[in-house]
Amino acid sequence: QSALTQPASVSGSPGQSITISCTGTSSDVGGYNYISWYQQHPGKAPKLMIYDVSNRPSGASNRFSGSKSGNTASLTISGLQAEDEADYYCSSYTSSGTRVFGTGTKVTVL
Amino acid sequence: QVQLVESGGGVVQPGRSLRLSCAASGFTFRNHAMHWVRQAPGKGLEWVAVISYDGSNKYYADSVRGRFTISRDNSENTLYLQMNSLRAEDTAVYYCAREEWGKVYFDYWGQGTLVTVSS
């Protein structure tokens, strides 16, 4: 049950696009389309942004999109805004029936 | 509206036990699998355990298996986490989270309860 690998930090200027990667194995990310992404502001509970690789729940901005290739999933934030500055975590279902989170990525808006 | 309210956190000595509760409202609790997720101070999210909608299936992270027990009372709309043999590394904010019916993601989260394991 090793955590999925994410970059520790990603930054961009307002209006730019950034992408956060999430790398696992064939037993989690690569084996299932059950990848979700969560945004967490300091002191707050996580918020669902993307589910099932690329679906957006109601309430999540359409500037957020997701994709997957092999054992790596990605979250892209387009038109970066100050309010997007937060920590982001990916999550996957695993072959053991458990769940696993990514190591987390701090997004900074320059 | 969906609400999840955790309680039961506090300061506990290493080796002792603690039980967390998560009171659910605003939805049909018995229809949803439920999870516990924790976050150590300044660290990332760590999945802890899941229980199926009817309590018949439970899965645990390796780090807590054999020490923690997840359970639920569908008549009381409450989720529990019994934590035994607590260690310093169990210090964290513990969140309960709902799994959307038939899906594999956490669509609602509580605000968390802090557990501090210290002598």
pLDDT on residue B25: 98
Over pLDDT 70: what percentage of chain B?
100
Identity of residue B3: Q
Give the residue carrying structure tokens 């990310």: A29
pLDDT on residue B105: 96
**Cα separation of B86 and B89, whole Å?**
8
**Cα separation of B105 and A48, whole Å?**
8
pLDDT on residue B101: 84
DSSP letter string, chain B: --EEEEE--EEE-TT--EEEEEEEESS-GGGS-EEEEEE-TTS-EEEEEEE-TTSS-EEE-TTTTTTEEEEEETTTTEEEEEE-S--GGG-EEEEEEEEPTTSSSEEEE---EEEEE--
pLDDT on residue A62: 95
pLDDT on residue A51: 97
pLDDT on residue B37: 98
**Residues B67-93 pLDDT 10s:** 999 999 999 999 999 999 999 999 999
Q: What is the mean pLDDT of residues B32-38?
A: 98
For B107, which of A57, A98, A100 is closest by C-beta distance?
A: A57
Whether the CA torsion B73, B4, B44, A79 is positive or negative: it is positive
B26: pLDDT strictly greater than 90: yes
Question: pLDDT tens per residue, chain A (110 residues)?
Answer: 799 999 999 999 999 999 999 999 999 999 999 999 999 999 999 999 999 999 999 989 999 999 999 999 999 999 999 999 999 999 999 999 999 999 999 999 99
The 8-class DSSP code of residue A1 comes to -
Q: Give the torsion through C-alpha atoms of A43, B108, B23, B91, to 10 deg.
A: -40
Q: Residue B71: exposed, middle, or buried by beta-carbon count in 10 A (0-12, 13-18, 19+)?
A: middle
For A97, which of B59, B105, B110 is closest by C-beta distance?
A: B59
Identity of residue B38: R
- The encoded tokens of residue B99 equal 């799994």
**Residues B44-73 pLDDT 10s:** 999 999 999 999 999 999 999 999 999 999
Output phi, psi for B115, to 5 deg: -115, 125
Size of interface A-B (CB pairs under 8 A): 67
Which of the residues A6, A96, A99 would you substitute to probe the B interface, choosing the one with the greatest number of B C-beta atoms within 10 Å? A99
pLDDT on residue A1: 79
Contacts of B61 (CB under 8 A, 6+ apart): A1, A98, B46, B47, B48, B49
Residue of B nearest to A39 (CA): B45
